[in-house]
């Protein structure tokens, strides 16, 4: 018998460069001096979330489903990756209960985007936005050209 609850964890990082857009949790970051270098849209928060969803049920990681060498993944909207991970979770008979996300970025300060990111991620998971906790850290100058995201998710069995 499978457990009524499962915990998933995921993390992701992207190198940052000038002249590229920065998207986090499905929300474009205005006035970002640097943007993510990536094959997809480089949304570290959604990549960490998708990996958390998959890891909770030992379904591997997003690289297996969306290889970064695949032409169809070029500039891919990461909402598609989260939707696929969620579909796999539901296929196993589980649903997400709540999410905790931590994003580490030096500039710009992300505080003003906290509500928008929580709202968008909750929307992608069909959860109330009160079920998505979003925390921001800086690297204290250790990794100024990096964005990193870590996500945990609690999954509950649909019919316990
Ligand atoms: Zn990524």
Neighbours of ion ligand 1 (CB under 5 A): 12, 47
What would the pLDDT profile of 133-148 be if each residue is shown by its tens digit?
Answer: 999 999 999 999 999 9
CB atoms within 10 A of CB 155: 25
Please check if 111 is assigned to a binding site: no
Q: What is the mean pLDDT of the chain?
A: 95
Q: How far is the CA of 12 from the centre of ligand 1 (A)?
A: 5
Please check if 39 is assigned to a binding site: yes
Is the full-model pTM beyond 0.85? yes
CB 142 within 8 Å of CB 78: no
CB 153 within 8 Å of CB 7: yes
With b for 16 or more beta-carbon neighbours within 10 A and e for fewer, the 75-104 pattern comes to: ebebbbbbebbbebbeeeebebebbbbbbb
Q: Residue 152: is it exposed, middle or buried by C-beta count within 10 angstroms (0-12/13-18/19+)?
A: buried
What would the pLDDT profile of 77-95 be if each residue is shown by its tens digit?
Answer: 999 999 999 999 999 999 9
pLDDT of residue 16: 97
Please check if 25 is assigned to a binding site: no
| CA–CA dist 160, 67 (Å, integer) | 34
Q: How far is the CA of 8 from the centre of ligand 1 (A)?
A: 17
Q: Which of 37-41, 100-104, 110-114, 134-138 has the lowest mean pLDDT?
A: 37-41
In this model, does residue 25 exceed pLDDT 80?
Answer: yes
Q: How far is the CA of 131 from the centre of ligand 1 (A)?
A: 23
pLDDT of residue 62: 93
Please check if 63 is assigned to a binding site: yes
Please check if 75 is assigned to a binding site: no
What would the pLDDT profile of 40-59 be if each residue is shown by its tens digit?
Answer: 899 999 999 999 999 999 99
Residue entry with tokens 């968008």? 120
Please check if 51 is assigned to a binding site: no
Distances (CA, A) of 102 to 26, 64, 71, 80: 15, 24, 30, 21
CATH of 5-157 among 3.30.9.10, 3.40.50.300, 3.30.1330.50, 3.40.50.1460: 3.30.1330.50
pLDDT of residue 1: 61
In this model, does residue 160 exceed pLDDT 70?
Answer: no
What would the pLDDT profile of 63-81 be if each residue is shown by its tens digit?
Answer: 999 887 777 777 889 999 9
Question: Torsions phi, psi of 19, nearest 5?
Answer: 85, 15
Sign of torsion over alpha carbons 86, 87, 92, 96: positive
In this model, does residue 119 exceed pLDDT 80?
Answer: yes
CB 43 within 8 Å of CB 24: yes
Pairing of the two strands 5-17 and 146-157: antiparallel
């Amino acid at each position: 018998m499978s457990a009524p609850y499962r915990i998933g964890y995921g993390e992701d990082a992207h190198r940052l460069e000038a002249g590229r857009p920065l998207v986090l949790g499905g929300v474009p970051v205005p006035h970002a001096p640097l943007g993510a270098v990536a094959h997809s849209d480089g949304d570290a928060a959604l990549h960490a979330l998708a990996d958390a969803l998959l890891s909770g049920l030992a379904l591997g990681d997003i690289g297996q489903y969306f290889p970064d060498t695949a032409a169809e993944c070029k500039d891919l909207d990461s909402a598609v990756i989260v939707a696929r991970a969620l579909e796999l979770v539901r296929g196993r008979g589980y649903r997400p209960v709540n999410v905790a996300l931590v994003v580490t970025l030096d500039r710009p300060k992300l505080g003003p985007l906290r509500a928008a990111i929580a709202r968008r991620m909750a929307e992608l998971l069909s959860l109330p936005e009160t079920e998505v906790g979003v925390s921001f850290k800086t690297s204290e100058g250790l990794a100024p050209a990096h964005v990193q995201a870590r996500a945990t998710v609690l999954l509950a069995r649909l019919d316990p």
